Amino acid sequence: MAFRIRMGLPEMDALWNDLSTRKLQGKLEKNEEKFFKKWVKTLGYLEQNPRHNSLASHEIDDLTRKHGFKIFQSYLENATPAAGRLFWAYGPDKGDITVLAVEPHPEDQKRGAYQRIKLSTRPPAKPQPGEKS
């Protein structure tokens, strides 16, 4: 089953729109180009299989407790200093995955590192047939 990838509001949606627009215009800086390429590759794996081995996806209990729904972390990259991590959740609709943050790996878990991560908000669910919007 392929998932529909959605971006959290407003931060992730704005970042995605900015980078993808500037990518099409050929206006990304070298480091942005590198980051965007990793992000797109990660989203491709996530869309096809959130449990893909390359993603090393796992639930982050601290964030799940804080926000009241399951939040997962997947790798953007591995074995590099401050390796990028993608934070995401299922929903808001069945078959959706919402990207909530892209951050460097929180190295110091003992000092509440995951508590400091700022997550975007999940977009609203689509109205079901017969439901008022």
* pLDDT value of position 21: 98
Q: Which of 46, 52, 51 is nearest to 102 (CA)?
A: 46
Cβ-based neighbours of 52, under 8 Å, separated by 6 or more: 45, 46
CATH number attached to the domain at 4-106: 3.30.2310.20
Length of the chain (residues) = 133
Q: Are 42 and 57 in contact (CB under 8 A)?
A: no
User: Measured between alpha carbons, how far is 86 from 74 in angstroms, rounded to an integer?
Assistant: 5
Q: Looking at this protein, which amino acid is placed at residue 22?
A: R
Q: How far is CA 95 from CA 2, 104, 106, 127, in A?
A: 8, 27, 28, 15
Q: pLDDT tens, 97-116?
A: 999 999 876 665 556 677 78
Q: Which tens digits make up the pLDDT trace of 59-96?
A: 999 999 999 999 999 999 877 666 789 999 999 999 99
pTM of the model: 0.89
